[in-house]
Amino acid sequence: MKKTTAGIALAMLFSPVLSFSQEKIDNEAIQKIKKEGLENSKVMDIAFHLTDVSGPRLTNSPGYMRAANYAKDEMKKWGLTNASIDPWGEFGKGWELEKSYVAMTAPYYKPLIAYPKAWCSGTGQLKNAEIFVIKAKDSTALANYKGKLAGKIIMTDRDDVYKQSFKADALRFSDATLDSMAVATAGKPVDAEEARKRREQMMNAARSQQRLSILIKNMAKEEGAVAILSVGNKNHDGTLFTQGGGSYKGSDPENFLDIMLGIEDYMSIVRLVNSGYPVKLDVDVKTAFQTKDLQGYNVIAEIPGTDPKLKNEIVMLGAHLDSWHTATGATDNAAGSAVMMEAVRIIKSLDLKPKRTIRIALWSGEEEGLLGSRGYVKKTFADPSNMQLLPAHEKLSAYYNIDNGTGKIRGIYLQGNEACRAIFTKWFEPFNDLGAKTVTINNTGGTDHQSFDAVGLPGFQFIQDPIEYNERTHHSNMDTYDHLIADDLKQMATIVASFVYNTAQREEKMPRKELPKAK
The model's pLDDT over 76-125, given as tens digits with 9 standing for 90+, comes to 999 999 999 999 999 999 999 999 999 999 999 999 999 999 999 999 99
- For the domain that residue 316 is a member of, what is the CATH number? 3.40.630.10
- For the domain that residue 108 is a member of, what is the CATH number? 3.50.30.30
Q: At which of 263, 290, 317 does a domain end?
A: 290
Domain shared by 320 and 370, yes or no: yes
Look up the domain containing 47 and give its range. 24-91+294-505
Mean per-residue pLDDT for 447-476?
97
Find the range with the poorest average confidence among 8-22, 394-408, 476-490. Answer: 8-22
Domain shared by 325 and 286, yes or no: no
Predicted structure pTM score: 0.93
Mean per-residue pLDDT for 263-272?
97
Please report which helix (H) or strand (E) contains residue 44, including its range: helix 43-48
Chain segment 334-381, per-residue pLDDT in tens: 999 999 999 999 999 999 999 999 999 999 999 999 999 999 999 999
Is 77 a domain residue?
Answer: yes
If pLDDT is split at 50, 70 and 90, which confidence band does 192 have?
A: low
Secondary structure of the chain: what % helix, strand, coil (to 5)?
Answer: 40, 20, 40
Determine the angle formed by the axes of helices 486-505 and 27-39, rounding to 10 degrees: 160
Judged against a pLDDT cut of 80, whether residue 478 lies above it is answered with yes
Cα–Cα distance, 321 to 33 (Å, whole number): 24
Q: At which of 270, 290, 310 does a domain end?
A: 290
* Number of domains comprising the chain: 2
Mean per-residue pLDDT for 411-418?
97
- Provide the pLDDT for residue 422: 97
pLDDT higher at 14 or 285: 285
Cα–Cα distance, 222 to 20 (Å, whole number): 67
Domain shared by 246 and 259, yes or no: yes
Is 9 a domain residue?
Answer: no
Domain shared by 218 and 345, yes or no: no
Domain shared by 160 and 129, yes or no: yes
Is 172 a domain residue?
Answer: no
Domain shared by 286 and 298, yes or no: no
- Provide the pLDDT for residue 395: 98
Domain shared by 74 and 140, yes or no: no
Mean per-residue pLDDT for 266-277?
97
Is 315 a domain residue?
Answer: yes
Judged against a pLDDT cut of 60, whether residue 191 lies above it is answered with no
Look over the chain and give the mean of its residue pLDDT values, rounded to a whole number.
93
> SS3 for 384?
coil
Is 183 a domain residue?
Answer: no
- Sign of torsion, CA 72 73 77 81? positive
Judged against a pLDDT cut of 80, whether residue 174 lies above it is answered with yes
CB distance 493 to 409 below 8 Å: no
Is 170 a domain residue?
Answer: no
Is 389 a domain residue?
Answer: yes
Mean per-residue pLDDT for 145-171?
92
Domain shared by 60 and 114, yes or no: no
Domain shared by 392 and 444, yes or no: yes
Judged against a pLDDT cut of 50, whether residue 13 lies above it is answered with no
Find the range with the poorest average confidence among 176-190, 244-258, 276-290, 335-349. Answer: 176-190
Judged against a pLDDT cut of 60, whether residue 235 lies above it is answered with yes
Judged against a pLDDT cut of 90, whether residue 54 lies above it is answered with yes
38-74: buried (b, 16+ CB within 10 Å) or exposed (e) per residue? eeebbbbebbbbbbeebbbbbbbbbbbbbbbebbbeb
Domain shared by 353 and 280, yes or no: no
Cα–Cα distance, 496 to 508 (Å, whole number): 19
Domain shared by 70 and 87, yes or no: yes
- Kindly report the three-state secondary structure assignment for every residue of 152-218: CEEEECCCCCCCCCCCCCCECCCHHHHHHHHCCCCCCCCCHHHHHHHHHHHHHHHHHHHHHHHHHHH
Mean per-residue pLDDT for 484-504?
98
If pLDDT is split at 50, 70 and 90, which confidence band does 196 have?
A: low
Chain segment 300-342, per-residue pLDDT in tens: 999 999 999 999 999 999 999 999 999 999 999 999 999 999 9
Is 515 a domain residue?
Answer: no
> SS3 for 338?
helix
Judged against a pLDDT cut of 90, whether residue 233 lies above it is answered with no
Q: At which of 290, 322, 353 does a domain end?
A: 290
- Provide the pLDDT for residue 186: 76
Domain shared by 341 and 311, yes or no: yes
